[in-house]
Amino acid sequence: MDKVKVLYVEDEPFLARIVQESLESRGFLVRLVSDGASALQEFLAFMPEICVLDVMLPHRDGFSIATEIREKNPRIPIIFLTAKVQTEDLVKGFESGGNDYLRKPFSMEELIVRINNLLQIVAGNNGVESKPNAPEKIILGRYAFYPARYELHLDDQVRKLSHRENRLLLLLTGSRDKPALRKDILLDIWGDDSYYNSRNLDVYISHLRDYLSEDPSVQIITIKGVGYHVRVG
């Protein structure tokens, strides 16, 4: 069985060595990068299955690295390691494409659990292409949504959606006769309904609202304490 490849970007030598050795002792193949400037190049050369990124790095921060990684691979899981605890930092991390957050100092057991959890979610989610009931095309006002192609069309404009944006929009449009429950969305897309994933969902809802803003007749309505409802017209 091939080892799971982890791109680990960390500039603290002592911590980096401990984490790398601990992950390797659990059977992971780790590519350690100590400088943010070379992280994307190493990502493209290594092609990992998961990324663990420190936020504060020389030359480039983890958020900007995650944004570029997301452009290259919308589906890869990303975990941020950071000493930052402010809400705006969490939101910025999720906006840049992070799946999870781990505050320093952290235990190796917790990091490994989070890595395995994200890998299991990815492994259990083969994409909407494999779902026989996923429609080829969904009309939302002036928009045409193509789930299998990860595309949202408006006239001659085409927006490529990330994996989670695509799944979220598919869940919302698939339950237009009733609200999509917030808890169900979190469990389906993120695997749990933790506070961090809940904030992540808020960010993704904002993204979709922005993408659909050219047609005022299409709205994602928040039903407080319940979930979301897509209204057209």
* pLDDT value, residue 18: 94
As a whole number of angstroms, the distance between CA 72 and CA 68 comes to: 7
State the pLDDT confidence band at 228, using cuts at 50, 70 and 90.
Answer: very high
Tell me what the mean pLDDT of segment 207-229 comes to. Answer: 93
Tell me what the mean pLDDT of segment 18-38 comes to. Answer: 94
- For the segment(s) 129-232, the CATH number from 3.10.105.10, 1.25.40.10, 2.40.30.10, 1.10.10.10 is 1.10.10.10
User: Where along the chain do its domains lie?
Assistant: 5-124, 129-232
* pLDDT value, residue 86: 62
Higher pLDDT, 27 or 133: 27
Tell me what the mean pLDDT of segment 180-190 comes to. Answer: 87
Sign of CA dihedral 40, 90, 159, 161: positive
* pLDDT value, residue 134: 58
Higher pLDDT, 59 or 121: 59
Q: Is the pLDDT of residue 161 over 90?
A: no
Tell me what the mean pLDDT of segment 96-112 comes to. Answer: 86
* pLDDT value, residue 24: 95
Question: Count of alpha carbons within 13 Å of 176, Cβ hemisphere only?
Answer: 14
Q: Is the pLDDT of residue 124 over 70?
A: no
Give the chain's mean pLDDT.
Answer: 86
pTM > 0.85: no
Q: Is the pLDDT of residue 212 over 80?
A: yes
* pLDDT value, residue 132: 44
Which are the contacts of 140, defined by CB distance < 8 A and separation ≥ 6? 173, 212, 215, 218, 230, 232
Q: Which two tokens stand for residue 169?
A: 């929009």
CATH superfamily to which 5-124 belongs: Response regulator (3.40.50.2300)
